[in-house]
Amino acid sequence: MNILVVDDEEVYLTSMRRLLRWHGMRNVETCANGQEAIRRIKEKDYDIVLLDLLMPGVDGMKVLEETKPFKPHTEFIIVTAVDVIANAVQSVRMGAYDYLIKPVDNEHLILSIERAYERRGLIAGLNLARYERDREVPDAFGDIITQCPRMKALLSYAQIMARSGNPILVTGESGTGKELLARGIHRAGPSPEGPFVPVNISSIPETLFESQFFGHIKGAFTGATRDYQGYFEQANGGTLFLDEIGEFPHQLQAKLLRVLEEKTFSRIGETKPIRVDVRIVSATNMDLDKACQEGRFRLDLIYRVRSAVIHLPPLREREGDISLLAAHFLKQAGARFSKDVRGFSPEAMDILLRKDYPGNIRQLSQMIENAVLLADSTMITPQQLGEEVPPPPLAARSLVSLKENYEMHVVYVFNHFKGDRKQTAQVLGVTVRQLQRKLAEMKKSARWRGVIGDF
pLDDT reported for residue 220: 85
pLDDT for residue 388 is more than 90: no
When mean pLDDT is compared over 72-76, 81-85, 285-289, the highest value belongs to 285-289
One-letter amino acid for residue 305 of the chain: V
pLDDT of residue 121: 55
Q: Which of 123-127, 191-195, 208-212 has the highest mean pLDDT?
A: 191-195
Top-confidence residue, 379 or 302: 302
Rounded CA-CA distance 371/375 in Å is 6
Same fold, 2-124 and 133-313: yes
CATH topology of domain 133-313: Rossmann fold (3.40.50)
Q: Which of 176-180, 265-269, 443-447 has the lowest mean pLDDT?
A: 443-447
Give the list of residues 6+ apart from residue 347 with CB closer than 8 angstroms, or none.
381, 382, 389, 390
> Where does 321-385 sit in CATH, by number?
1.10.8.60
pLDDT tens digits along 89-115: 888 888 888 888 888 888 888 888 887
Task: Give the pLDDT band (50/70/90) at residue 124.
Answer: very low
Q: Are 50 and 30 in contact (CB under 8 A)?
A: no
Q: Which of 170-179, 326-335, 336-345, 410-419 has the lowest mean pLDDT?
A: 410-419
* pLDDT at site 398: 45
pLDDT at 123 over 70: no
**Which long-range contacts does 436-444 make (Cβ < 8 Å, 24+ apart)?**
438/410, 439/410, 439/414, 442/407, 442/410, 442/411
Pick the CATH number of 2-124 from 3.10.50.40, 3.40.50.2300, 2.120.10.90, 3.50.50.60: 3.40.50.2300
Q: What separation in angstroms does the CA of 70 have from each of 44, 64, 122, 386?
A: 11, 10, 18, 23
At 37, the pLDDT band (50, 70, 90 cuts) reads: very high
Q: In this structure, how many other beta carbons lie within 10 angstroms of the beta carbon of residue 50? A: 27
Does position 76 have pLDDT exceeding 50, yes or no?
yes
pLDDT for res 177? 95
pLDDT value of position 176? 96
Q: Taking residues 341-353, report their average pLDDT.
A: 80
CA max distance for the chain: 94
Is 47 or 403 the better-scoring residue by pLDDT? 47
What CATH code would you report for 400-452? 1.10.10
Alpha-carbon dihedral angle through residues 361, 362, 363, 367, given to the nearest 10 degrees: 100
Taking only the tens place, the pLDDT of each residue in 392-434 is 444 444 455 677 777 777 877 776 676 788 888 888 888 888 8
Contact predicate 145/258, CB 8 Å: no
Residue 375 has pLDDT above 70, yes or no: yes
Q: With 80 as the cut, is the pLDDT of residue 207 above it?
A: yes
Phi first, then psi: give them for residue 425, nearest 5 degrees: -65, -40
168 has pLDDT over 80: yes
- pLDDT over 80 (residue 323): yes
Flag whether the pTM goes above 0.95.
no
- Out of 57-71, 215-229, 307-321, 375-389, least confident range: 375-389
What backbone phi and psi angles, to 5 degrees, belong to 353? -75, -25
Instruction: For the chain, give every domain's residue range.
Output: 2-124, 133-313, 321-385, 400-452
Helices (H), 72-148: 85-93, 106-124, 128-134
Closest to 237 measured CA to CA, from 199, 202, 193? 193
Q: Tens digits of per-residue pLDDT, 150-160?
A: 899 999 999 99
Reported in sequence order, the residue ranges of 181-231 that DSSP labels E, i.e. its strands, are 196-200
Look at residue 125 in the predicted model and tell me its pLDDT. 46
